[in-house]
Structure 1
Amino acid sequence: MLDHDTIRSFIKVAECSSFSKAAELLHKTPAAISYRIKTLEDDVGTQLFLRTTRSVSLTPAGVHLLEQCRMWLSWLDSVPNELRQITDGIERQVNIVVNNLLYDEDTCAGLLSYLHQKFPFTQFQVSCQIYMGVWDNLLYGDCQMAIGATGSESLSNNIQILPLGGVEWVFVVAPIHPLAKGPEVLTEEMLRGYPAINIEDTSKNLTKRIAWLLPGQKEIKVPDLGSKLKCHLNGLGVGFLPRKLCQPYLNSGQLITKTIQNSRHPSQLSLAWNNEKDGQIVHHIVSLFKSDNPIIHGFLQNVTPGATKRHA
């Protein structure tokens, strides 16, 4: 009913709004094209084209079938390449989760463009998660790779890791914040009266972590690192930010550093991948990190190599 030639004939008639024009482009006679389309309509039991002496147009059923035929034809054309890809050990689907601390839009777009050109028949999906949500997606989701899994040790025997370095933290307030004029070392009593700006852990199965919050202190939760930075710049609250992220604002005076009694140690982050789900593409991405390829540098702009290895 819907063989390869019939699909091509139907699509061409729909695009040309003409049996004769479609026949010319397909190097067939108008009668052959007309017969093929009439046979298709008889087989599906509904009219696909409205015919007049001057024009041919699709019925609503024909519009729907056109959408499906274009997808089928695309799939049929790609099948040989997909099969060769599977034989060569190249994944059909690669899902990557990126830690919010490392996520960079330009770097992500650049990496996806590079991978699409090198592996054109693979589907790619990238998600952004917070804290233990990265491990959660790697252990319990369908991700094969994590950029920025917390810690320097694997949480599973089937997960391999490559340490990337640590995110160094600095406690900051805006110059307009009341604590900006306080003593250099702030006590917990001084801090407790002002909101802590935090990003909520996105883990669903593993225990969630709270970055920094004092007992009895108000917490304001924001969705990502960019929002947290803006809140600090606006003087809304207090808390820690990656040193490399906020250094330009420290240099310009838009943020100032303060010392608190319990400082936050660097957060060790790693590249992690599932060795039971990996293939050529996952191994290729690992090689980009191992060789310090410039294409992945944007993911590491908040990371200091060799920083103290301690979890966030």
Structure 2
Amino acid sequence: MLDRETIRSFMKVAKYSNFSKAAEVLHKTPAAISYRIKVLEDDMGTPLFTRTTRSVHLTPAGEHLLEQCQKWLDWIETMPKELKQIESGIERQVNIVINNLVYDQEAVSGLILLLNEKFPFTQINITQAVYMGVWDALLNQDYHFAIGVPGRDTIDNQVIMNYLGSINWSFVTSPDHPLTSKEGTLSESQLRQYPAINIEDTSQKINKRTGWLLRDQKEIKVPDLMTKVACHMNGSGIGFLPTKLCHDYIEQGALVERQVQWNRTPSPLSLGWRTDSKGHVTQWIIDLFEENHPTIQRFSKHLDYMTH
């Protein structure tokens, strides 16, 4: 009913609004083109063209079919290459989750560009997650690869880890915050009076964790890292930020670093991938990190210790 020749005939008639012109372009007789379109309409059970003595025009059904025809032709033409890719072991789809602490728009767009050039028929899906949400995406949401998995050791045998580096944390306040004028190391009793700014863990099935929160302290949850930074700078609350991230803000006087009674320990981050879905694309991304490719270096800009 919809073989390639029928599709081409239909599209040419739609383009030129004329059977004779379509027949001329396709090196067919007008009668042959007209007959093919009539058979198509009969098979479809609906008219695709309205006909006058001088021209033909698409009906609403014909307009819809025309939109689909180009997609079908593109699919037919690319299918041999897609099948060859699948046969060679290249994944049809790769889902990547990235920890918000190392997420970088330029790095992500650069990675997408590289992947699209190297594996043009692989569907690439990338999302961002917070804390144990990265693990949740790998174990429960069909994600194949993760950049910035919390920890150095796997929590599940389905996932292999490759240590990237660690994030050091600095306790910072606004220059105008009441704590800024306090002398010496800040105690828990002093800190507890003010809200802690945290980014909510995005995990759905694994127990959520909190970055830093004292007993009986008010917590304010924000959606992303830069909102947290802004809340520290305007004095909405207190807490820890990645040392490298807040360095320039401290130098500019927008934030003040203070010593506290209990510092936050460094957070190790790793690459992680599922053993049951590793393929050519996944290995290629791992190799990019192993060779410290310029495109992915920005993922590590907040890490204080790196494997390279």
Give the TM-score, by structure 2 length. 0.95
Greater mean alpha carbon deviation, residues 83-92 or residues 219-228: 219-228
The number of aligned residues is 307
The residue that corresponds to 1:157 in the other structure is: 157
Give the TM-score, by structure 1 length. 0.94
Deviations 1:206-263 (A, max 9, x none): 1100001112222111111121112112221111111111111111111110111111
The residue that corresponds to 2:102 in the other structure is: 102
The correspondence of residues 148-227 of structure 1 with structure 2, limited to 5 A, is: 148-227=148-227
Aligned partner letter, 2:72: W
SS at 1:207 equivalent: coil
Q: Could you tell me how far 1:140 is from its partner in structure 2?
A: 1.3
Deviations 1:65-93 (A, max 9, x none): 22222222222122111110011110000
Which whole-Å CA distance do the structure 2 matches of 1:186 and 1:41 have between them? 81
Deviations 1:241-297 (A, max 9, x none): 111111111111111101111110110000011121011110000000111111110
Distance change (3 Å), C-alpha of 1:188 and 1:18: farther
The residue that corresponds to 1:59 in the other structure is: 59
The residue that corresponds to 1:310 in the other structure is: none
SS at 2:281 equivalent: helix
Aligned partner letter, 1:241: L
Which whole-Å CA distance do the structure 2 matches of 1:269 and 1:304 have between them? 11
The residue that corresponds to 1:285 in the other structure is: 285
Q: Answer whether contact 2:147 2:271 (CA < 8 A) is retained.
A: yes
Aligned partner letter, 1:125: N
Which whole-Å CA distance do the structure 2 matches of 1:109 and 1:197 have between them? 29
Q: Could you tell me how far 1:54 is from its partner in structure 2?
A: 4.3
Q: Could you tell me how far 1:159 is from its partner in structure 2?
A: 1.4
Q: Answer whether contact 2:158 2:275 (CA < 8 A) is retained.
A: yes
1:295 aligns with 2:295: yes
The correspondence of residues 85-100 of structure 1 with structure 2, limited to 5 A, is: 85-100=85-100
Aligned partner letter, 1:245: L
The residue that corresponds to 2:264 in the other structure is: 264
Distance change (3 Å), C-alpha of 1:12 and 1:178: farther
Q: Answer whether contact 2:170 2:242 (CA < 8 A) is retained.
A: yes
The residue that corresponds to 2:38 in the other structure is: 38
Which whole-Å CA distance do the structure 1 matches of 2:171 and 2:238 have between them? 8
**Once the two structures are aligned, what percentage of the paired residues are identical?**
55
The residue that corresponds to 2:251 in the other structure is: 251
Distance change (3 Å), C-alpha of 1:38 and 1:264: same
The residue that corresponds to 2:49 in the other structure is: 49
Deviations 1:97-152 (A, max 9, x none): 00010111111011101110111111100010000110111111211100000000
Deviations 1:152-207 (A, max 9, x none): 00122231111000011111111122222122421222222221111110111111
Aligned partner letter, 1:185: T
Q: Could you tell me how far 1:44 is from its partner in structure 2?
A: 0.5
